[in-house]
Copies of this chain bind each other. A is one copy, B any other.
Amino acid sequence: MTDFSSLLISESAAVAKDVDRAFDLLLAVPDDPRAPLFEAMRHAAIGGGKRMRPLLVNATARLFNVSQDAALRVGCAIEAIHVYSLIHDDLPCMDDDDMRRGKPTVHKAFNEAIAVLAGDSLHALAFEWLAEDETHPDPFVRSELVLEIGKASGPSGMAGGQMMDLAAEGQEFDLATITRLQQLKTGALIMVCVEAGAILGRVPPEGRVHLRAYARDIGLAFQIADDLLDAEGDAAVTGKAVGKDADAGKATFLSILGIDKARAQAHLLVDQAISHLSSYGPEADLLRAIARYVIERDR
| Interfacial residues, chain A to chain B (CB-CB below 8 A) | 32-34, 36-38, 41, 84-85, 88, 91, 93-94, 107, 111-117, 119-121, 123-125, 127-128, 130-132, 138-140, 142-144, 146-147, 150-151, 153-155, 157, 159-160, 162-164, 166-168, 171, 177, 180-181
Chain B residues near A84: list those with CB within 8 A: 120
Distance of A47 from chain B, by nearest CB (Å): 20
A-B contact pairs, 15 of them (CB 8 A): A32-B180, A33-B163, A33-B177, A37-B163, A88-B120, A94-B116, A117-B166, A125-B150, A128-B146, A128-B151, A131-B146, A131-B150, A139-B140, A143-B143, A143-B146
Q: With A and B bound together, what is the CA distance between A155 and B37 in angstroms?
A: 8
Q: With A and B bound together, what is the CA distance between A85 and B123 in angstroms?
A: 12
The answer to whether B116 and A130 touch across the interface, beta carbons within 8 angstroms, is no
Distance of A30 from chain B, by nearest CB (Å): 8
Chain B residues near A180: list those with CB within 8 A: 32
Distance of A226 from chain B, by nearest CB (Å): 20
Chain B residues near A157: list those with CB within 8 A: 124
The answer to whether B121 and A124 touch across the interface, beta carbons within 8 angstroms, is no
The answer to whether A143 and B131 touch across the interface, beta carbons within 8 angstroms, is yes
The answer to whether B130 and A166 touch across the interface, beta carbons within 8 angstroms, is no
Pick the 3 closest A-B CB pairs, nearest first: A124-B154, A128-B150, A93-B112
Distance of A95 from chain B, by nearest CB (Å): 9
The answer to whether A150 and B124 touch across the interface, beta carbons within 8 angstroms, is yes
Distance of A188 from chain B, by nearest CB (Å): 11
The answer to whether A124 and B123 touch across the interface, beta carbons within 8 angstroms, is yes
